[in-house]
């Protein structure tokens, strides 16, 4: 006998018949009728018309019948609020029942009836149940507070239920504690500022005790709650970690991942030289690997989180590369995630293995996966320099397969490899050019055009190749059009004699026949550059490009920190902060990792930067101990003691410019004639590593004012600046930020007319007065300069720039 | 927390819905159907989807989608674990987890769902607790119920619910006291075409069937516990004892349960029981291909390999296979492109071989991809990792139980590339 009989209908009309049965005298018939009603309800049929008849069955001593009626009530009370009142009396009576199961059931069901009038009657029974002698009733009541809060938050606060709930955290029964925590967390989520979860060492201790004894689901609630706590010092942090680690062996993967979250967060506070720190790192790997042998849906969530973990602490899984190898029957969403992690873990040690795998994947069936595998080979080349050559030859092998999408994807990544390792693998260009005709995707076409333009001098028929693209110019996508325009201009600058016609053609196509403003603008800029000052044009268009690096696809460090705090949540799956997608997130607090609490203040750059993380300077996470010198990126014009601006003076100077390299923007600045006479020497010194120390002081970590300033470091070696050496530091003297510099002339001629200009930077730093260098600086002379700074300058909202650009006359 | 649950069959019909808070319209599933459409294969539907107002988290079990709707930030693993638990419970109650069985028992299903979750918070998910509150259907009981007017809902609070050992009920009584343990190991491996192992790992599980009276306290120790460094336990196992002494000490749940699962990673040396010699090639001219597969024993620790089976996913262009098997039978399914060679027992003296030609669709270029071979096998009385239970002791009760441990090794995702 099965329940399918409940779905059979008769001619008379289902509702009518059910009504009769519900009002039958026989208990058994009644029960069967209610079952039929429930069955209809589950499949979405509307049986609300039977409301009074079903409610009439509620007064019964048969528990099953009672439960069924409750089920019905929960579903339909909202649509029949007046009728629902009829049920209140029974509920209140049931809350007094000697059987705890019935008491709990009543309070639970009442909370699910989302009718205002009923909630008023709910308060008294709920208050009693929260103090019930039976823990089963108490734990049910705890959840009921959350339900009630969802319906009427004000009522819950007025009735003092929140305080009762907080008291339940100290309950003797672990299940009650877990449910109280769960209820409070849910309430706190809708009231982020209510400070409901007032965590202190005592409550933490209670939670940790309950953690060992409650159900798996309760453990998840408690662990998630623990993750919001910030321990006072590294010792407390360690003791919490020790008590949480056993959870890593739990069979429930959600418990495991929540425990990983707690550990990843509290680990930040442990000193790295502690033995326990190493032990903990070792303990984290096996459970993460185990998550990958679970069901594919679990694997997916685990992989998204592992992706974050390997970015933050690559050492945890560095030996586990093999578990991320793709099996052919993995669902595609698992395959793609595994691939991503393989690249993150790729290193010189395992690159051969990884490449062999990737090559295998590139011959698979699934197009998306194959594309991503080809892309991964390119990313390996960029990440692991030693493997670049191997990667390029693998890519060439793949191009030989002539499978259309493989070829296109390979060309896109080879372009990136060229940008990372210029002048190294150009020998493959010939092979690439053979496949020109088969490219039909914009990205691949654009990449190929870029390659042709960039290496125009090595490709004999570059003009023919580009001309062939030009025929269908208007049918191309914007990406390709822009690239084509730039490539032809590059070609022209390299081989001006043969390609004059071509460049005119493309410029007129871009400026006159196109309605795309980006394209027109770029066209006009090139046009004007070429017509007014071809040498400047050369500097701009053929400027050396900054190398690309692996970091481009890493998650930005502040975001990564926040996401680490959200391991196991939706945020970690989307790789976005909760504020970016959680609805009504007005009050979502940004979580950050706790900093290390080593003592010793800011004696060394290491601790200074650690402190910078724990305090809150906007978005600075300096790499440890970075020295400005490494990051210097110079462009400067050749030293002419006096006279006209450098551009367009001689071909020899041009060469010098190229050698020195530089950012495009400063060259554009020169080309578009910022009057150089007014600014004979200008250098801009954006914020540097030294500034961290400064901020540390500003944050008042307990240093006497002005007692410390970092020693001067060489910002600009003489070799790179035609004889002008600048070393300097930042300091705070009597409350004023100062930049202290020593300028040394190591050139043969006298230097004069110094000036300084600050680029817009993340701290809003700007000079408070002009640079005071009055006397000319004769050869081998040094001068000390102090420049007061203030922080009222325009703030650039971006990652701090760390380069110093110098111009000397 | 978990807001609603929809159960959807392979045709895309929602045949069951349950809401734990307010009712959410079915139309929310449209976003899921869209993703389902895009994914082509049901296995490939992404498990976490975002819609303008809700998040949809789904699992795919037994040709059914269990789709849950959540509205706030909830750990997705928590939801996925719970959904699997729901499916497990159905399996446990009704013997299978399918549309017909769910529709047949819709009232019990509904009662179960109500008992498992309250306001989105898990309430009772342990099968023995649930079984005390809602009794599983069986023919005898329904007959008795009809005669006596009894019900299949328990009248009292299950005792396990709040004790410190929620997984065991009190007052268990058996005439034959017995405890059986099955140690099952699955080898997941990728072997490349030259026969070298690309990766190999072992997923092990110890399943228990314990029928002991009273409150027995068991201790299981291993000959070589050092093998186990990556384990996850049933909540009944005392973790501290394991940490300090490497023994499993526990008060078992009543009946069937999974005592522990373990994972032996690729860093340890994993024995591969068989080797495969294969060559599969396609010729453009004549549109045909050739196939030759031989299997032999490699590291079997002196045991017999049974239930040996090879599955090959052929490229689309392969129309038919004309092969001869020296042992066992083969079938080729034209629609799914699956070649299955069922070998049976592996005889080391006479290695099984399958060879012959493949006929291909004419005028189609040679397949790009290489088919890969999947191996299924079984070895009785052997845990390939070398794990062995050394003793099982019982404390707390006076009777003498009957104890037994069985080992079996199987191929998990065992893949040979060509």
> Using one digit for the tens of pLDDT, what is the confidence trace for A69-119?
888 888 787 777 777 777 888 888 888 888 888 888 888 888 888 777 778
- Give yes or no: residues B279 and B222 share one domain: no
For A156-182, the pLDDT digits (tens) are 888 888 888 888 888 888 888 888 998
Nearest CA in chain A to B77: A254
Residues of chain A with Cβ-Cβ distance to B251 below 8 Å are none
Please name the member of A101, A258, A360 whose beta carbon is closest to the beta carbon of B75.
A258
Q: Which of residues 53-72 of A touch B (CB under 8 A)?
A: 62-65, 67-68, 71
A195 token code pair: 């400070």
In terms of pLDDT, which residue wins out, A583 or A716?
A716
Total domain count, chain A: 2
Statement: residue A809 has pLDDT above 90 = no
In terms of residue numbers, what domain contains B287? 274-380
Using the Cβ of A586 and the Cβ atoms of chain B, whether some distance falls under 8 Å is answered with no
DSSP for B277-288 reads EEEEEEETGGGE
- The radius of gyration of chain A's CA atoms, rounded to the nearest angstrom, is 35
Same domain, B183 and B295: no
Band (A796; pLDDT cuts 50, 70, 90): low
How far is A272 from A598, CA to CA, in rounded Å? 10
Own/partner pairs, A442-445, CB within 8 angstroms, 24+ separation: A442/A476, A442/A477, A442/A479, A442/A480, A443/A408, A443/A412, A443/A479, A444/A407, A444/A408, A444/A409, A444/A411, A444/A412, A445/A469, A445/A476, A445/A480, A445/A483
Q: How many domains does chain B have?
A: 3
Nearest to B374 by CA among B300, B282, B278, B265: B278
Asked, for residue B168, whether it belongs to a domain, the answer is no
CB contact under 8 A, B55 and A570: yes
CB B24 within 8 A of CB B14: no
Give residue for tokens 């439960």.
Answer: A67
Q: Is residue A649 part of a domain?
A: no
Which pLDDT score, from 0 to 100, does residue B153 have?
59
Is residue B395 a part of any domain in this protein?
yes
Residue B106 belongs to a domain: yes
Residues B332 and B389 in one domain: no
Average pLDDT along chain A: 76
pLDDT > 70? residue A3? no
Q: Is residue A770 part of a domain?
A: yes
Q: A462 lies in a domain?
A: yes
Q: Which residue of A has its CA nearest to B78?
A: A254
Q: Are residues B23 and B113 in the same domain?
A: yes
What's the pLDDT tens digit per position in A430-455? Answer: 888 888 888 888 889 899 999 888 88
Could you say which of A503, A522, A550 is where a domain stops?
A550
| Residue B75 C-alpha from the chain's centroid | 23
B192/A325 Cβ within 8 A: no
Q: Has residue A263 got a pLDDT over 90?
A: yes
Q: Does B261 lie at the interface with A, CB-CB under 8 angstroms?
A: yes
Two tokens at A179? 């449910």
A66 pLDDT higher than 90 = no
pLDDT digits (tens, 9 = 90+) for B59-99: 998 889 999 999 888 889 999 999 999 999 998 888 888 89
What residues of chain A lie within 8 A of the CB of B161, using their CB?
A: 136
Q: Are residues B400 and B265 in the same domain?
A: yes
- Lowest pLDDT segment from A291-295, B28-32, B129-133: B129-133
Domain boundary at A550, A581, A604, which?
A550
Asked whether residue B349 falls in the same domain as residue B393, the answer is no
Q: What is the mean pLDDT of chain B?
A: 85
* B79 and B217 belong to one structural domain: no
Q: Is residue B61 part of a domain?
A: yes
Q: Are residues B37 and B113 in the same domain?
A: yes
The pLDDT of residue A385: 86
ipTM: 0.73
pLDDT above 70 (res A582)? no
pTM recorded for the entire structure: 0.71
Say if residue B222 is in the same domain as residue B371. no
Domain boundary among A509, A530, A550: A550
Dihedral Cα B249, B251, B255, B256, nearest 10 deg = -30
pLDDT of B120 reads 82
Check B119 against A112: CB less than 8 A apart: yes
In a domain, residue A465? The reply is yes
Give the gap in angstroms from C-alpha A38 to the nearest C-alpha of chain B.
Answer: 7
pLDDT of residue A255: 93
Residue A256 is predicted with a pLDDT of: 93
Residues 6+ away with beta carbon under 8 Å from A809: A637, A639, A640, A641, A642, A680, A681, A751, A752, A753
A428/A366 Cα distance (integer angstroms): 27
A472 assigned to some structural domain: yes
Span B296-310, pLDDT tens digits: 988 888 888 999 999
Q: Is there a domain that residue A789 lies in?
A: yes
- In angstroms, the Cα distances linking A340 to A312, A331, A335, A756 are 15, 15, 9, 45
Domain span at A449: 441-550
Residues B263 and B291 in one domain: no
In this model, does residue B144 exceed pLDDT 70? no
Span A635-659, pLDDT tens digits: 333 333 333 333 333 333 333 333 3
Contact yes or no for B17 and A42 at CB 8 A? yes
CA pair distance A750, A293, nearest whole angstrom: 72
Whether A251 and B110 lie within 8 Å, measured CB to CB? no
CATH number at residue B285: 2.60.40.1170
CATH number reported for the structural domain that contains residue B38 in this entry: 3.30.450.60
Nearest to B370 among A140, A286, A363 (CB): A363
Tell me if B222 sits within 8 A of B228, measured CB to CB: yes
Is B190 among the domain residues? Answer: yes
Cβ–Cβ below 8 Å for A39 and B107: yes
Please give the DSSP secondary-structure letter assigned to residue B170: S
B261/B389 same-domain check: yes
Q: How long a stretch of residues is chain B?
A: 418
pLDDT at A309: 92
Q: What is the mean pLDDT of residues A237-257?
A: 90
CATH number of the structural domain spanning residue A748 = 2.60.40.1150
Q: What proportion of chain A, given as a percentage, has pLDDT over 70?
A: 74
Inside any domain, residue A471: yes
pLDDT for A273? 86
Q: Are residues B233 and B337 in the same domain?
A: no
Q: What is the pLDDT of residue A5?
A: 57
Instruction: Confirm whether A266 is domain-assigned.
Output: no
Q: Do B59 and A252 touch (CB under 8 A)?
A: no
Where does a domain end: B125, B142, B167?
B125
pLDDT digits (tens, 9 = 90+) for A516-544: 888 999 999 888 888 888 888 888 888 88
Closest of A289, A242, A249 to residue B234, by C-alpha:
A249
- B window 52-111, beta carbon within 8 A of A: 53, 55, 58-60, 71-78, 80-82, 84, 103-111
- The pLDDT, as a whole number, for residue A494 is 87
Q: What pLDDT is stored for residue A434 in this prediction?
A: 83
Percent of chain A with pLDDT over 90: 8
Q: How many CA atoms lie within 13 A of A53 on its CB side?
A: 20
Q: Is B92 helix (H, G, I), strand (E, B) or coil?
A: helix
User: Residue A334 above 90 pLDDT?
Assistant: yes
pLDDT at A620: 35
């Amino acid at each position: 006998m099965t329940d399918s009989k409940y779905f059979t209908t008769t001619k008379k009309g289902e509702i009518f018949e059910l009504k009769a049965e519900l009002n039958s005298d026989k208990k058994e018939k009644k029960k069967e009728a209610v079952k039929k009603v429930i069955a209809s309800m589950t499949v979405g049929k509307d049986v609300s018309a039977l409301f009074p008849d079903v409610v009439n069955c509620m007064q019964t001593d048969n528990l099953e019948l009672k439960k069924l009626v409750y089920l019905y009530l929960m579903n339909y009370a909202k649509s029949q609020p007046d009728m629902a009142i009829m049920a209140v009396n029974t509920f209140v009576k049931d809350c007094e029942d000697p059987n705890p199961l019935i008491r709990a059931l009543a309070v639970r069901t009442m909370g699910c009836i989302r009718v205002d009038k009923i909630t008023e009657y709910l308060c008294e029974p709920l208050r009693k149940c929260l103090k019930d002698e039976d823990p089963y009733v108490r734990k049910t009541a705890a959840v009921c507070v959350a339900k009630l809060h969802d319906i009427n938050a004000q009522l819950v606060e007025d009735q003092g239920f929140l305080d009762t709930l907080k008291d339940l955290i100290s309950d003797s029964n672990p299940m009650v504690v877990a449910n109280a925590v769960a209820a409070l967390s849910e309430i706190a989520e809708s009231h982020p500022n209510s400070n409901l979860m007032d965590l202190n060492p005592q409550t933490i201790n209670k939670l940790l005790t309950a953690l060992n004894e409650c159900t798996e689901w309760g453990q998840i609630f408690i662990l998630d709650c623990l993750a919001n706590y910030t321990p006072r010092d590294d010792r407390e942090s360690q003791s919490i970690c020790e008590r949480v680690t056993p959870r890593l062996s739990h069979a429930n993967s959600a418990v495991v991942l929540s425990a990983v979250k707690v550990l990843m967060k509290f680990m930040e506070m442990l000193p790295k030289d502690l033995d326990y720190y190493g032990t903990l790192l070792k303990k984290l790997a096996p459970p993460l690997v185990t998550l990958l042998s679970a069901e594919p849906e679990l694997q997916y969530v685990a992989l998204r989180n592992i992706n974050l973990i390997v970015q933050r602490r690559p050492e945890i899984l560095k030996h586990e590369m093999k578990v991320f190898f793709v099996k052919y029957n993995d669902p595609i969403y698992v395959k793609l995630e595994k691939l991503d992690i393989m690249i993150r873990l790729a290193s010189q040690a395992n690159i051969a293995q990884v490449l062999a795998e990737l090559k295998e994947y590139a011959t698979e069936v699934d197009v998306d996966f194959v594309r991503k595998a080809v892309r991964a080979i390119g990313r390996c080349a960029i990440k692991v320099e030693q493997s670049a050559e191997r990667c390029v030859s693998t890519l060439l092998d793949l191009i030989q397969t002539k499978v259309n999408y493989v070829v296109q994807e390979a060309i896109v990544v080879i372009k990136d490899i060229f940008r990372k390792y210029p002048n190294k693998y150009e020998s493959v260009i010939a092979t690439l050019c053979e496949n020109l005709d088969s490219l039909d995707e914009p990205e691949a076409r654009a990449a190929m055009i870029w390659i042709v333009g960039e290496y125009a001098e090595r490709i004999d028929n570059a003009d023919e190749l580009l001309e062939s693209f030009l025929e269908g110019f208007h049918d191309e996508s914007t990406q390709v059009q822009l690239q084509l325009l730039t490539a032809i201009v590059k070609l022209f600058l390299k081989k001006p004699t043969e390609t004059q016609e071509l460049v005119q053609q493309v410029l007129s196509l871009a400026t006159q026949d196109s309605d795309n403003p980006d394209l027109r603008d770029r066209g006009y800029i090139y046009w004007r550059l070429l017509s007014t000052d071809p040498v400047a044009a050369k500097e701009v268009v053929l400027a050396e490009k900054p190398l690309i690096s692996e970091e481009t696809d890493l998650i930005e460090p502040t975001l990564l920190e926040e996401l680490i705090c959200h391991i196991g949540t939706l945020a970690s799956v989307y790789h976005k902060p909760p504020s970016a997608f959680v609805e009504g997130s007005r009050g979502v607090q940004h979580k950050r990792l706790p900093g290390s609490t080593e003592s010793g203040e800011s004696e060394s750059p290491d601790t200074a930067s650690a402190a910078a993380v724990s305090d809150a300077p906007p978005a600075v996470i300096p790499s440890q101990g970075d020295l400005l010198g490494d990051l210097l990126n110079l462009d400067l014009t050749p030293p002419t003691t006096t006279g006209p601006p450098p551009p367009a003076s001689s071909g020899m100077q041009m060469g010098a410019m190229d050698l020195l390299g530089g950012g495009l923007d400063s060259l554009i600045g020169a080309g578009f004639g910022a009057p150089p006479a007014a600014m004979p020497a200008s250098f801009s010194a954006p914020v540097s590593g030294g500034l961290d120390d400064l901020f540390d002081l500003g944050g008042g970590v307990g240093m006497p004012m002005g007692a410390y300033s970092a020693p001067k470091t060489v910002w600009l070696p003489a070799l790179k600046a035609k004889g002008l050496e600048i070393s300097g530091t930042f300091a705070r003297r009597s409350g004023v930020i100062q930049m202290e510099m020593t300028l040394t002339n190591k050139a043969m001629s006298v230097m004069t007319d110094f000036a300084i200009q600050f680029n817009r930077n993340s701290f809003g730093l700007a000079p408070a007065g002009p640079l005071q260098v009055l006397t000319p600086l004769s050869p081998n002379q040094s001068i000390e300069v102090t420049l007061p700074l203030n922080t009222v300058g325009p703030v650039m909202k971006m990652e701090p720039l760390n380069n110093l650009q110098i111009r000397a006359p | 927390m978990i807001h609603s649950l929809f159960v959807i069959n392979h045709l895309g019909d929602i045949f069951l819905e349950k809401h734990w808070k307010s009712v959410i319209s079915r139309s929310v599933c449209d976003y899921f159907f869209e993703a389902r459409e895009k994914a082509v294969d049901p296995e490939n539907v992404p498990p976490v989807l975002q819609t303008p107002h809700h998040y949809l988290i789904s699992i795919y079990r037994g040709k059914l989608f269990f789709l849950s709707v959540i509205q706030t930030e909830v750990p997705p693993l928590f939801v996925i674990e719970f959904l699997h638990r729901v499916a497990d419970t159905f399996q446990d109650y009704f013997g299978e987890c399918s549309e017909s069985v769910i529709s047949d028992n819709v009232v019990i299903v509904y009662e179960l769902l109500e008992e498992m979750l309250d306001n989105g918070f898990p309430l009772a998910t342990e099968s023995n607790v649930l079984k005390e509150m809602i009794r599983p259907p069986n023919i005898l009981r329904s007959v008795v119920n009809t005669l006596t007017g009894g019900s299949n809902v328990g009248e009292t609070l299950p005792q396990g619910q709040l004790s410190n050992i929620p997984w065991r009920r009190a007052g268990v009584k058996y005439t034959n006291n017995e405890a059986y343990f099955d140690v099952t190991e699955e080898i997941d491996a990728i072997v490349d075409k030259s026969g070298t192992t690309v990766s190999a790992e072992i997923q092990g599980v110890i399943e228990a069937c314990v029928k002991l009276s009273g409150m027995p306290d068991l201790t299981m120790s291993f000959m070589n516990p050092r093998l186990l460094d990556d384990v996850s336990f049933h909540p009944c196992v005392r973790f501290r004892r394991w940490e300090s002494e490497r023994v499993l000490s526990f008060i078992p749940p009543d009946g069937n349960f999974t005592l522990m699962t373990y994972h032996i990673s690729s860093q340890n040396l994993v024995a591969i029981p068989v080797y495969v010699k294969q060559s599969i090639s396609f010729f453009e001219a004549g549109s045909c291909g050739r196939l030759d597969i031989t299997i032999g024993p490699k590291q079997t620790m002196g045991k017999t390999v049974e239930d040996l089976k090879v599955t090959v996913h052929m490229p689309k262009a392969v129309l038919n296979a004309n092969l001869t098997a020296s042992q066992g039978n083969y079938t080729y399914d034209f629609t799914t492109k699956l070649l299955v060679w069922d070998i049976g027992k592996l005889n080391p003296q006479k290695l099984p071989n399958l060879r012959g030609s493949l006929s291909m669709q004419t005028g189609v270029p040679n397949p790009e991809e290489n088919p890969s071979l999947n191996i299924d096998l079984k070895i009785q009385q052997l845990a390939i990792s070398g794990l062995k239970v050394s003793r099982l002791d019982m404390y707390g009760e006076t009777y003498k139980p009957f104890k037994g441990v069985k080992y079996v090794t199987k191929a998990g995702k065992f893949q040979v590339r060509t």
